[in-house]
Structure 1
């Protein structure tokens, strides 16, 4: 199992436990904190990661088997 699979498993567990909206809020808050700590140097990369994570959470939250 690679790191991406591990992150996906953790995301699925979090979605099941606290819901997709709260997970997306956490992703946004964490990304904003990292952006602040790096002085905005990697803003575009952080924003891209936040968007990808939020899209994944939405996809997983909308699955009928969840």
Structure 2
């Protein structure tokens, strides 16, 4: 596998080991994109964040925003 694939696999394993921290990161990125786009793509960012959460077994929404 190429370097990018190796990095993606390492990131996924790290997220599985620390799902709470990964959830905060994913939710932070989603929030940043929503803010910068004026929530224009809110449905798409929600769907993408949900897919990322599922990829490592994350819990979803972090309540301390």
Please tell me the TM-score bracket, short chain as reference: 0.5 to 0.7
TM-score, normalised with respect to structure 1: 0.65
Query: What's the Cα RMSD here?
Result: 2.2
Residue matched to 1:51: 50
Aligned length: 56
CA distance in 2, matches of 1:26, 1:20: 10
Superposed structure 1 runs of 4+ greater than 6 Å apart: none
Give the unaligned 5+ runs of structure 1: 60-66
C-alpha deviation, 1:11, in angstroms: 2.4
Residue matched to 2:26: 27
Structure 1 or 2: larger helix share?
A: 1
